[in-house]
Structure 1
């Protein structure tokens, strides 16, 4: 489901657009509704395999659900390569042809043709294409999470919210930079599957505390209003320059209030060091992550010193991964060693 916000992506208009979402939670129609009386996709649970030429087959499952009148959603699950799994809130189905495009990652597309109880087709990702065949096994499994696009000029925000809202859980605003943006949807999916609500903001190529503060404030308000969010456990994960801007926006007069902070690949200027020390004095939990060329012992030592020099300070380096904390793989990148479990465990401990 997509909500269209008639705003440009600048701090003021972005704030007004998301405030409109929070205050005037207006109903909207899915693209399935707009299509009128089109043939609905076949609801069910399908199992099979994905095969890339020259590679071992991977188990896969597809669930097509009908959660509300006029609305359908689908979920692809690849247990051995979690970065391929995703939930699609919009289904394109016509003349036995099914097409699913991954939210916030448009280069990953599932194209299938219905043949009796079978789906046959391909999973396309960037320039790679893998064959996929699935057989109907019964009714769909329960939904893992739902995803919603908050559309606007200049980029979309995406809300990943677990389906089970009975037990309040952590929530975070995810602020990628241009280097980590392609992996942001993979992280949002992985965290949502562990019960963590994620609001993924569009990437920006520059950041400062004055620019980030207003849109971050509204993002935190959106998360507080999301069903299932523990309002005492709402934080922010920011990368690169946005991480430095985040730290500075949480100190001084009119500072943002967040329950925890994850900073990724942050460079330590004197201003950032000062801000981080103040956050530690305020006892704000901070997890620092470094990947790729940033993941050096020297960088980890500098960050530990900035966090007060305590042994065991939560600074994690992943030298075998890229800046996005992923490692290359045949069809899709994978999470670096120990990920996403180490991040999930830290979040659940807060």
Structure 2
């Protein structure tokens, strides 16, 4: 059984997270010095591969795979495909010409390939769906779009998605999904990171009390403030469901975490949350409320009443999308109409 291996942690992160040094090879149980790796480990072939995905009865879709070797003993892999299928792998296993890639925070999505000359042949697994994949080598790998780092938490791992380009400071946010939106939250983290937004994806929480969320948020904000490439004046939060309601109350309480903006997803506005959102409105915090799924129209109307017409606050409804703001597609979910562009545009305007 090959030992799972992880891409290298990014040099532009000042945070010490989980060990991400990549050890490739079936017989490696732990990271070894470079000279030992050279002798003992098989290494995945670096390059840019192009090809297609094919599901039974459907037209093929274009796909690419980039395998990179950024430093001695370290490898990275990035899979690019239509819709929401693209990802930078957090785990790379290579042995006996077989490659297996896993997607961060989406354990149901894996890519398993076998090397045959210049070809990779295999299967992209999307939970219970399997898609045939064929890729051929076309040259050197393209530059990476973003990198990931696993950050262990007491309640499960968080994931940091950060653009590879750190020369231009950009917005950063803490993403707090609820149980309903957690399965697809990594799709949003991937999409925003590709647009230059740093995202720290926290694990879902069974409860969303102020006592539990406050230390999580404070630690998350500290990490983002210490991440190279983050505009420290433009770090905000995105929360879904009850976590958004709790967060709205936290941001108006004593000793509140300092956030530059707030995105609330599918938040139910009741008497308590209405007061909190009105207080945020009076403090002129930029607010974006997003709604999809059952009850979206009624919930969005209540949020509009709470926020009023203040400049900087926006309420948007995506009637065709579910609560996760995605719609079903032939190869997995896709973004609702106008997404993710409308969210990215709003973030850039803050």
Fold match by TM threshold 0.5: yes
The answer as to 2:202 corresponding to 1:214 is no
- Uncovered stretches (5+) of structure 1, i.e. residues with no partner: 4-20
CA distance in structure 1 between the aligned counterparts of 2:211 and 2:76, rounded to whole angstroms: 38
Distance in structure 2 (CA, Å) of the matches to 1:169 and 1:54? 42
Residue 151 of structure 1 deviates from its aligned partner by 2.5
Closer/same/farther in 2, CA of residues 74 and 326 from structure 1, 3 Å limit = same
- Give the aligned partner of residue 27 of structure 2: none
Q: 2 CA distance for matches of 1:240 and 1:28?
A: 32
Is the contact made by 1:31 and 1:90 (CA closer than 8 Å) also made in structure 2? no
Task: Name the SS of the counterpart of 1:107 in structure 2.
Answer: strand
1:279 aligns with 2:280: yes
Q: Structure 1 residue 92 and structure 2 residue 86: aligned?
A: no
Compute the displacement of 1:25 (Å). Answer: 6.9
Structure 2 CA distance for aligned equivalents of residues 41 and 85 of structure 1: 20
Q: CA deviation at 1:329?
A: 1.3
Equivalent positions of 1:199-348 (< 5 A) are: 199-296=200-297, 298-310=298-310, 313-348=313-348
Contact 1:156-1:201 within 8 A present in 2 as well: yes
Matching of residue 120 in structure 1 with residue 112 in structure 2: no
Distance across 2 between alignment mates of 1:2 and 1:243: 32
Give the paired residue count: 331
CA contact (8 A) 1:2 1:150 kept: no
> Residues 65-114 of structure 1, C-alpha deviation per residue, up to 9 Å, x if partnerless?
11122111100001x32x10000133110110000011110111101011
Q: Give, in angstroms, the shift of residue 301 of structure 1.
A: 2.1
- Range with bigger deviation, 25-34 or 47-56: 25-34
Between the aligned partners of 2:126 and 2:98, the Cα distance in structure 1 is 18
2:170 match: 169
- Deviation at residue 55 of structure 1 after TM alignment: 0.7
- The answer to whether the 8 Å contact 1:208/1:241 transfers is no
Question: Are 1:161 and 1:197, in contact at CA under 8 Å, matched by a contact in 2?
Answer: yes
State the distance in 1 between where 2:209 and 2:51 align.
47
Distance (Å, rounded) in 2 between the aligned partners of 1:291 and 1:92? 37
Distance 2:18 2:337 in 1: 43
Matched-pair contact (CA < 8 Å) for 2:177–2:204 = yes
Counterpart Cα distance in 1 of 2:311 and 2:330? 38
Q: Is the 8 A contact 1:2 1:149 kept in 2?
A: no
For the aligned residue pairs, the C-alpha RMSD in angstroms reads 2.1
Q: Secondary structure at the match of 1:111?
A: strand
**2:59 is the counterpart of 1:67:** no
Q: Distance in 2 between matches of 1:275 and 1:117?
A: 58
Q: Map Cα deviations across residues 196-246 of structure 1 (whole Å, 9 max, x no partner).
A: 000000001210222211110110110010010000000000001100111
Deviation at 1:309, TM superposition (A): 4.0
Give the TM-score of the pair, scaled to structure 1.
0.90
What is the rounded CA distance, in whole Å, between the counterparts of 2:42 and 2:244 in structure 1? 47
In the other structure, the counterpart of 1:18 is: none
Within 5 A, what are the aligned runs for 1:145-184?
145-184=146-185
TM-score, scaled to structure 2: 0.90
- Note if 1:29 corresponds to 2:30: no
What does residue 48 of structure 1 align with?
A: 51
CA contact (8 A) 2:287 2:312 kept: no
Alpha-carbon spacing, 1:158–1:54, altered in 2? closer, same or farther (3 Å): same
Distance of aligned partners of 1:126 and 1:114 in 2 relative to their CA distance in 1, 3 Å threshold: same
